[in-house]
Amino acid sequence: MLLNIQHISKQYSAESVLENISLTLNENRTLSILGKSGCGKSTLLKIISGLVLQDRGDIILKGKNINMLPANLRHIVYMSQEALLFPHLNVFENIAFGLRIKNEKKAMIETKVNHLITRLGLHGHHQKMPQQLSGGQQQRVNFGRSLIINPPLLLLDEPFGNLDTQTRAEMQQLFKQVAGEFNIASIFVTHDIKEALLMGDNIGYMNNGQLKIYETKKSFISDSITGAQQEISFWQTL
Amino acid sequence: MMKRLKRPIAFLSLLAFSFPFIFLFILSIAKGWNFPNLLPSGYSTERWSGLVQNTGGLLQSLLLSCKIGLVVAIVSTFTGFTISRSISLHSKRKYLLFACYFPLALSPVIYSLLLNHFFLKFNLSGTFMGVVIAQLIITIPFSILLLSSFWNERIRSLEQVSSTLGSNLQQIFFRVLLPVALPQLLICFFQTFLVSWFEYGLTIIIGVGKVQTLTLKVYQYIGEANIFYAALSSCLIVFPPAIFLWINKRYVFSKLN
């Protein structure tokens, strides 16, 4: 088992954001978490990545408790809706960032970055600055920047939320391919039912700070609270 | 119509902007200029060459002003940057930012009179360090206010991304925050340098006339009705701001746009 989260809770002032959350994730698997805005999805991801500290509960990564480990030593990359590329660096340097801070050898950085640039369909954009790229291209660079450090776990917080339908579909496909190729385990948070079903090997539903993990996609669809049935009947009656 | 007027308007604006500089320069090389003559009776570079020989201590004042301005600008930009970050994360940031207006709302002269007692007590009156500290009391809050808008949600997110990619605090500061903030930091540096450069009230009270900056020299020459030397020192005093204005336009604003 790669990740084991046990009884995580978080409160902001008097408001409870996460209540007794537990989940497990195996290597090379993707867990989709569906939930409305403000249900605590982002807080959960930020806790796992070490950006926010939980009030209670344990995070165990590869059998090791990482509760007290700072974000920079966890190597769990958090990707948000916005690509958040470093505005002062070009495409090449943005992707190379994680290797540069580790003082890796120049030749190795060049080989790795160039490989990723080609793999992510960014050939010819090496020298472009973030503001010269489209939303989809920016998210590709963001992927490259995250993948290059070979993280044990990738946390995706509605990463395609800002993209148009077509680009979104392309990125979903690209992510599936890349996740398989790089053997990545990930937690994919979204408020889109179709995306949750498409991206996840396992699926969960989050509401008011509580998470329910479904054993199968079938059980997720048949549960009325997820809204999957309503979605299906909408398309059927159209 | 507007297109045809564009060039003359641009020319008149340029003339209006450059006239004081041209006028001051002519005055600084004039031998004598009596009313109602349109131009001086003769020209000489004597005063300018005297500058190199430090006639009247002008060169010394110029270097001293540069030294004070640079120290004040570097210290206040750096501290303003770090303090404004801490304030942006503080729960009482509204009140803390409001407090930064106090030194600026008070007149520097009144402010220095209020603080003079402490400067005397710590033997800082009439010293280089005293003047620097007095100016920093004005320029640090100014820097904090100027840089506080930099610390927005986006910058916070960039810090977080950088952290999850493996950066420690030092790497976040030097590899992300500093380069991203560079245009704002340069503006802050120039602004605080200019505040220090033109500062008169604080410098005369805390420096008790012993710290003779260029601004003090200009006032001294004006007081003596020595218009030619006043013009020469004025030429020197507008030179660094003119350079900064050019650097700002050439490098900083182009990066911000």
Is there a contact between B164 and A77 if contact means CB atoms under 8 Å apart?
A: yes
Residues A233, A193 within the same domain: yes
- Cβ of A158 under 8 Å from any chain B Cβ? no
Residues A165, A236 within the same domain: yes
Exposure of A60 by Cβ count < 10 A (0-12 exposed, 13-18 middle, 19+ buried)?
A: middle
Contact call for residues B244 and B190 (beta carbons, < 8 A): yes
Q: For A191, which DSSP code?
A: S
So what's the pLDDT on residue B253? 63
Q: Which residues pair with A3 in a beta bridge?
A: A25, A61
Query: B41-53 pLDDT, tens per residue?
Result: 888 888 888 877 7
Superfamily designation of domain B58-256? MetI-like (1.10.3720.10)
So what's the pLDDT on residue B152? 93
**In angstroms, what is the C-alpha Rg of chain A?**
18
Higher pLDDT, A157 or B105: A157
Residues A40, A140 within the same domain: no
How far, in Å, CA of B253 to CA of B246, rounded? 10
pLDDT more than 90, % of chain B: 50
| Span B55-74, average pLDDT | 91
The parts of chain A modelled with pLDDT lower than 50 are none
Is there a contact between A75 and B160 if contact means CB atoms under 8 Å apart?
A: no
Query: B213-255 pLDDT, tens per residue?
Result: 999 988 888 888 888 888 888 888 888 888 887 887 777 666 6
Exposure of A169 by Cβ count < 10 A (0-12 exposed, 13-18 middle, 19+ buried)?
A: middle
Is there a contact between B165 and A98 if contact means CB atoms under 8 Å apart?
A: yes
In this structure, what CATH number is given to the domain that contains residue A174?
3.40.50.300
Classified as helix, coil or strand, A39 is: coil
Q: Which two tokens stand for residue B53?
A: 């020989």
Query: B151-181 pLDDT, tens per residue?
Result: 999 999 999 999 999 999 999 999 999 999 9
So what's the pLDDT on residue B255? 60
Residues A124, A29 within the same domain: no
Query: B82-96 pLDDT, tens per residue?
Result: 999 999 989 999 999
Q: Which among A71, A86, A98 has CB closest to B176?
A: A86
Q: What is the ipTM of this complex?
A: 0.89
Residues A6, A32 within the same domain: yes
H runs (alpha helix) in chain B: 2-29, 46-52, 58-89, 93-99, 102-105, 108-121, 128-147, 153-164, 169-171, 178-198, 201-206, 214-223, 227-247, 253-256
- Cβ of A174 under 8 Å from any chain B Cβ? no
Residue ranges making up the domain that contains A100: 84-150
Task: From residue A235, give the alpha-carbon distance in Å to each of A195, A229, A230, A231.
Answer: 16, 10, 9, 7
Closest CA to B137 of B183, B102, B93, B95: B102
Please give the single-letter amino acid code of residue B125: S
pLDDT exceeds cutoff 60 at B101? yes
Contact call for residues B140 and A65 (beta carbons, < 8 A): no
Closest Cα of chain A to B79: distance in Å? 23
How many domains is chain A built from? 2
Interface test with A, best of B153, B156, B164, B176 (most A CBs within 10 A): B164
Residues A185, A127 within the same domain: no
Task: From residue A101, give the alpha-carbon distance in Å to each of A142, B154, B165.
Answer: 16, 21, 9
Domain-terminating residue out of A131, A150, A169: A150
- Cβ of A76 under 8 Å from any chain B Cβ? yes
So what's the pLDDT on residue B254? 62
How high is the mean pLDDT of chain B? 89
- Cβ of A49 under 8 Å from any chain B Cβ? yes
Domain-terminating residue out of A133, A150, A167: A150
Is there a contact between B166 and A72 if contact means CB atoms under 8 Å apart?
A: yes
Domain-terminating residue out of A103, A125, A150: A150
Residues A145, A158 within the same domain: no
Residues A141, A172 within the same domain: no
Query: A56-89 pLDDT, tens per residue?
Result: 999 999 999 999 999 999 989 999 888 999 999 9
